[in-house]
């Protein structure tokens, strides 16, 4: 499903080529995507989904924390990519949406691997204990910067922080629009922190709506 040209950071012709070349969703993931498309619900873009699969297969995290469950697509995708050998805590603000996610997780047979937490991302992250090998940020873009210190505390050294939608339909490069000024400003500061403060080594990938892939650097002189 291509969508409007200005919804993406690459043109529709290139995106169409990517979608025609990359493998499609199958099984429960296809069912979830088809239903989301029919109902007009936002979902992880297909090309980003394939990229995320590769990342988790390379990293092989044992514990993943996700901000922004939505209807459970990303958690199920990551769990399936790891053949169930992972524990995923995923946070969703909306109770009804979280209920749909739980139903999808149940239908996928992954209830033992995926734990849906209902609550505000910042509140939940600030109260979580323990650490994770990977964090996937796909919540409200306006909160990325505020939640970053919690991600840093919760992420193991050399852990992977994957942040979706960081180029915000290309608006990240434009003069600040009044309507989206706060989101754009916060996202620029978030990317500046990831790329320049030394806590993370980061690459920005112009796929989907932009993905930042960051590795938490090991602190010296502990």
Domain containing residue 51: CATH number: 3.40.50.150
169 within domain boundaries: yes
pLDDT tens digit string along 38-85?
998 889 999 999 999 999 999 999 999 999 999 999 999 999 999 999
Position 107 pLDDT exceeds 90: yes
60 within domain boundaries: yes
Query: Can you give the length of the chain in residues?
Result: 222
Position 171 pLDDT exceeds 90: no
Q: Give yes or no for a contact between 163 and 194, defined as CB atoms under 8 angstroms apart.
A: yes
Q: What is the pLDDT of residue 181?
A: 78
111 within domain boundaries: yes
Q: What is the pLDDT of residue 220?
A: 61
Q: Dihedrals φ, ψ of 61, to 5°?
A: -70, 145
Position 2 pLDDT exceeds 60: no
83 within domain boundaries: yes
200 within domain boundaries: yes
* Average pLDDT taken over every residue of the chain: 92
Position 178 pLDDT exceeds 90: no
What is the pLDDT averaged over residues 13-40? 93
221 within domain boundaries: no
123 within domain boundaries: yes
Distance CA(166)–CA(195), nearest Å, equals 13
Query: 18 is in which domain, residue-wise?
Result: 5-216
Please give the tally of structural domains in the chain. 1
pLDDT tens digit string along 122-167?
999 999 999 999 999 999 998 999 999 999 999 999 999 999 999 9
What is the percent of the chain with per-residue pLDDT over 70, rounded to a whole number?
A: 93
Whole-model pTM: value is: 0.92
What is the percent of the chain with per-residue pLDDT over 90, rounded to a whole number?
A: 80
Lowest model confidence (mean pLDDT) among 9-23, 93-107, 109-123, 146-160: 9-23
Q: Please, which pLDDT band fits residue 5 given cuts at 50, 70 and 90?
A: very low
Helix (H) or strand (E) holding 191: helix 181-196
Distance CA(197)–CA(73), nearest Å, equals 32
pLDDT tens digit string along 6-21?
455 777 888 899 989 9
Position 222 pLDDT exceeds 50: no
Nearest to 110 by CA among 72, 57, 62, 138: 72
222 within domain boundaries: no
Check residues 175 and 158 and name the one with the higher pLDDT.
158
Nearest to 135 by CA among 105, 158, 167: 158
Distance CA(153)–CA(129), nearest Å, equals 9
Position 4 pLDDT exceeds 90: no
Q: What is the pLDDT of residue 168?
A: 86
Q: Please, which pLDDT band fits residue 1 given cuts at 50, 70 and 90?
A: low
């Amino acid at each position: 499903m291509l969508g409007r040209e200005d919804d993406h950071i690459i043109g529709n012709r290139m995106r169409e080529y990517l979608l025609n070349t990359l493998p499609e969703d199958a099984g429960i993931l296809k069912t979830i995507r088809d239903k989301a498309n029919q109902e007009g619900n936002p979902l992880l873009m297909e090309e980003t989904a394939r990229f995320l699969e590769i990342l988790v297969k390379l990293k092989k995290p044992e514990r993943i924390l996700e901000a922004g469950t939505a209807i459970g697509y990303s958690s199920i995708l990551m769990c399936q990519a790891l053949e169930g050998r992972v524990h995923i805590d995923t946070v969703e603000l909306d109770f009804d949406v979280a209920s749909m996610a739980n139903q999808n997780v149940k239908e996928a047979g992954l209830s033992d691997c995926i734990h849906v937490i209902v609550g505000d991302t910042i509140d939940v992250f600030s109260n979580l204990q323990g650490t994770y090998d990977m964090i996937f940020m796909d919540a409200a873009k306006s909160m990325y910067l505020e939640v970053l210190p919690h991600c840093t505390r919760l992420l193991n050294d050399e852990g992977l922080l994957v942040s979706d939608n960081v180029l915000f339909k290309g608006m990240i490069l434009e003069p600040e629009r009044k309507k989206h000024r706060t989101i754009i400003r916060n996202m620029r500061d978030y990317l500046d922190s990831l790329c320049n403060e030394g806590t993370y080594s980061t690459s920005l990938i112009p796929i989907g709506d932009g993905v930042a892939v960051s590795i938490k650097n090991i602190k010296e002189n502990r």
